[in-house]
Amino acid sequence: RTLRARGLHLLPGVIDSHVHFRTPGLTHKEDWAHGSRAAAAGGVTTVIDMPNTRPALHTVERAHQKAELIEGTSLVDFRFHFGVSPHTVETIRDLSPRVATSVKVFMTGHHTAPDVIHDPKVLARVFAVAAETGIRLVLHAEDDGVFALLDRRQGTPRHYDQYERTRPRSGGIVAVTKIIELVRRYGTAAHVLHVSSAEEADLLAAARHIGLPITYETTPHHLSFTAADTHRLGARIRLSPAIRHSDDQQRLWDALVGGEISTLGSDHAPHTIEEKSRPAPDAPPGLPGVQELLTAVFTGLRRRFPHTSVDDSLTLLARVCSAEPARLFGLDQQKGSLTEGLDADLVLFDPEATWLMSARHAHTKNHWSAYEGWTFTGRPTTTIRRGEIIWDGTSFGPAGGVWLDARNPLATEEPATPHHPRATREPAPA
Ligand code: NCD
Ligand code: ZN
Ligand code: ZN
């Protein structure tokens, strides 16, 4: 069969290192059949799935069970971020790089976040153990501990505006400050997730400036929406962390084009339309986005930086959507080697295509998108996973996605170089 590529750009397959495909236990919100189709249609060939399922992903045994549930239903290859609860901190030691290269830490509780670590001593222990084993922590940058206490004291009602716009903003700053301090103390490799505000970006730039091993992610939705869109979209864009203001958004765009941001993760976290239609405080935070990731950010780059060439915009996206996630999470090794060849995970992308996003195009299980009504620029026309076409612009290929672990024949017995370059440990201040 002939593949037409005239006028198209060839990109590395997108690695979305932040999705919630909800298996096991929350499959009314999303499942791998739908989530992975949304991924393929968005140019994504590998996803790293989050652990906040029911039950949460805490043990190696559960990872094998989860992979068994998924294989045969997923179009894309996958890995897992492990979870950690106050009772499973030492379990991190069981994780070989072939099973997982990262552990997600929540410092605040919400709808789908069961494993919260509030106790500062336990949190410090997580950083210490991760530094010893070399595994990377990926952190949900929200900590509203102090504010929650104040709430309880004063009996403050959780007024929507206050909750969305004030408290979680301070929570992000508190969380990032704590993370920086713990990385400084233990030398843990840390990747801060869904960074949303200008203050957080400033703090992280400072941390990087002094050489701490901290990287960060932002999301397509924090780059695409502002609090003003809440009037129109309501709880559809209720997120954790919340959508911020236009000055925050501008800071994030500048950080992206300026090279401060290492990865873009979709934080694809679907809920049903019914769940999202509940009155504001009860509507769960999260939205689908794995399909929109590449196109939404490309659209934003074309609009906001019209003097940047298409080539330069796509080069930037290849870095933050493929090269950096591969490097941070050891996927470059799971996917072959630069000398012996890598898997053919590729996307043909049409930068000239303009098209109207609608619910009809949304392949996520509950078929909705916060981008409905947007005119997108750019479209993945063909997605190829390990040499096999899984999206040809209208239809999907076979569900041959595999767990990129020991069963992957490309993974050597012992990685030639360590998966997790050990972070250099700074001496603790006297
Ligand atoms: C996520 C979810 O629903 O699982 N929601 C969200 O708003 N981001 C949880 C998360 O990513 O922390
Ligand atoms: Zn999170
Ligand atoms: Zn998430």
DSSP state of 112: T
Task: Report the b/e string of 214-237 with b at 16+ CB within 10 A.
Answer: bbbbbbbbbbbbbbeebeebebbb
Q: Quick one: tokens of 175?
A: 């969380």
For residue 52, report the distance from its CA to the centre of ligand 1, in Å: 8
- Contact status, residue 368 vs residue 387, Cβ threshold 8 Å: no
Crossing angle between the packed helical segments 120-133 and 167-186, to the nearest 10 degrees: 50
For residue 40, report the distance from its CA to the centre of ligand 3, in Å: 19
C-alpha 123/C-alpha 116 separation (Å) is 10
DSSP state of 244: -
Interior angle at CA 92, CA 89 and CA 95, nearest 5: 165
DSSP state of 113: B
226-263 pLDDT tens trace: 989 988 999 999 999 999 999 999 999 999 999 999 99
SS3 for 18? strand
C-alpha 286/C-alpha 276 separation (Å) is 9
Q: Per-residue pLDDT for the chain (430 aa), expressed as one digit of tens each? A: 788 899 999 999 999 999 999 999 999 999 999 999 999 999 999 999 999 999 999 999 999 999 999 999 999 999 999 999 999 999 999 999 889 999 999 987 666 767 889 899 999 999 999 999 999 999 998 886 666 665 555 555 454 444 555 556 778 888 999 999 999 999 999 999 999 999 999 999 999 999 999 999 999 999 999 989 988 999 999 999 999 999 999 999 999 999 999 999 999 999 999 999 998 678 899 999 999 999 999 999 999 999 999 999 999 999 999 999 999 999 877 777 667 778 899 999 999 999 999 999 999 999 999 999 999 999 999 999 999 999 999 999 999 999 997 545 444 444 434 443 333 334 444 4
Q: Which residues line ligand 1 (CB under 6 A)?
A: 20, 52, 112-113, 140, 239-240, 267, 269, 285-286
Q: Where are the alpha helices (DSSP H) in 117-258?
A: 120-133, 145-154, 160-165, 167-186, 198-209, 220-224, 230-233, 246-257
Looking at the CA of 104, name the nearest ligand.
2
- Contact status, residue 54 vs residue 384, Cβ threshold 8 Å: no
For residue 233, report the distance from its CA to the centre of ligand 2, in Å: 21
Looking at the CA of 243, name the nearest ligand.
1
Count of helix runs (H) and strand runs (E) in the chain? 15, 15
For residue 323, report the distance from its CA to the centre of ligand 3, in Å: 20
pTM here is 0.92
Q: Which string of DSSP letters, residue by residue, matches 305-346?
A: -TTS-HHHHHHHHHIIIIIHHHHHTTHHHHTEETTTEE---E
For residue 138, report the distance from its CA to the centre of ligand 1, in Å: 13
Which residue's CA is the closest to the ligand 1 atom numbered 2? 269
Task: Identify which of 26, 53, 110, 196 to mutate to test ligand 1's pocket (most ligand atoms within 8 A of the CB).
Answer: 110
pLDDT, residue 167, reads 57
Q: Tokens 């903003």 map to which residue?
A: 169
C-alpha 267/C-alpha 101 separation (Å) is 18
Reported as half-sphere exposure (CB side, CA atoms, 13 A), residue 102 has a value of: 27
Task: Identify which of 21, 30, 104, 112 to mutate to test ligand 1's pocket (most ligand atoms within 8 A of the CB).
Answer: 112
